[in-house]
A and B are shown apart, each in its own frame.
Chain A
């Protein structure tokens, strides 16, 4: 198995953490039919984690501060964005499940979403990630919004990732793994999002 890492990827580690893991089976329903499950899943994950935040002091928030990680919207937004990306870009041919895992530590919340990816999409996706990890994200965020306004076909804009970095102060990382045990290699990507809480 070959592995490539982008960004600030932290390996999964469930010691000393509350964790929640959900797997979504691969199935032949269309993206349009499956789309509604993203919001439902993100709602469940947001509600689930709120039980651990009850009674803890809220992060300060002001007109110029990032959105607090302990707000229900933060968890739901990030979970939803990760699931949307996984649903849009997972390789239906590979019949690999999509998985989301959350680990809650004392001062950190880490999401991992793993999905298969069509080999023909890997290069474009990795080019977006190189840009995300080498450019100033705040400048890139607004440049990307301007570019998207005039380019309808911008499939890999990375706007969702940039919104997590800029609006939620998240750290992101990606791990690509190529599994050669089957007759046709399967490539999976794990997207990691880390929030300080």
Chain B
């Protein structure tokens, strides 16, 4: 089961949040439990947890992403693209992402290629230096988006 909860602060653009909610509701594999609240937007399942935090202009990815197709990754891509619409700086944090399959790599590359079209958006990506696949993955994203700043702890 997948739960999507959308919580936004009073300054968020409600039309964007409700529009994203409508797009999520159209996807038949997801439940329709979308609620508007206070502070953040998240997609949470038993395997992964993606959180958009407007206060810190960051999207935090945790868990393991092994979805089977671009269609199944669409909600996460929508969340990322939506976050990119809201800020001039955005941080993508994958430090606690334990696993990412090639369909997931594909999804993140689509996201950074979309960010390339927004020259006013400054993006930072965070990962761990000690996790070789995270380093390699973020370097590949940087090759697609040369302005991407990397913070490797």
Contacts and interface: CB of A to CB of B under 8 A. Distances in A.
Contacts of A157: 106
A102 to B, nearest CB: 19
Contact of A76 (B68, B99, B140): B99
A159 B109 CA distance: 11
Interface stretch (B17-25, B53-61, B130-138): B130-138
6 contacts: A67-B132, A80-B101, A142-B140, A149-B109, A149-B113, A167-B137
Given A77-B101, A159-B105, A160-B101, 18 more contacts: A35-B68, A39-B99, A63-B129, A76-B99, A77-B133, A80-B66, A80-B99, A81-B102, A84-B101, A84-B103, A145-B113, A145-B144, A146-B144, A148-B106, A148-B109, A148-B110, A157-B106, A167-B140
Contacts of A167: 133, 136-137, 140
A151 to B, nearest CB: 10
Contact of B106 (A63, A66, A159): A159
Secondary structure call for the A interface:
helix
In the A-B complex, the 4 residue pairs with the smallest Cβ-Cβ separation, listed nearest first, are A160-B102, A145-B109, A149-B113, A67-B132
B64 A68 contact: no
A181 interface: no
A130 interface: no
Contacts of B62: none
- Number of chain B interface residues as a range: 20 to 34
A71 interface: yes
A66 B140 CA distance: 12
B10 interface: no
Interface of B: 64, 66, 68, 70, 99, 101-103, 105-106, 109-110, 113-114, 129, 131-133, 135-137, 139-140, 143-144, 152
A68 B114 CA distance: 31
Contact of A73 (B66, B110, B132): B132
User: Interface centre among B113, B136, B139, B143, by most A CB within 10 Å?
Assistant: B136
Interface residues of A, number: 32
A88 interface: yes
Most buried by A among B106, B132, B136: B132
Contacts of B64: 39
Interface of A: 31-32, 35, 38-39, 61, 63-68, 71, 73-74, 76-77, 80-81, 84, 88, 142, 145-146, 148-149, 152, 157, 159-160, 163, 167
B70 A152 contact: yes
B132 A71 contact: yes
B110 A149 contact: yes
Contacts of A159: 102, 105-106
Contacts of A67: 132-133, 136
A31 B70 CA distance: 15
A142 B144 contact: yes
Contacts of B105: 159, 163
B126 to A, nearest CB: 15
B40 to A, nearest CB: 27
A64 to B, nearest CB: 7
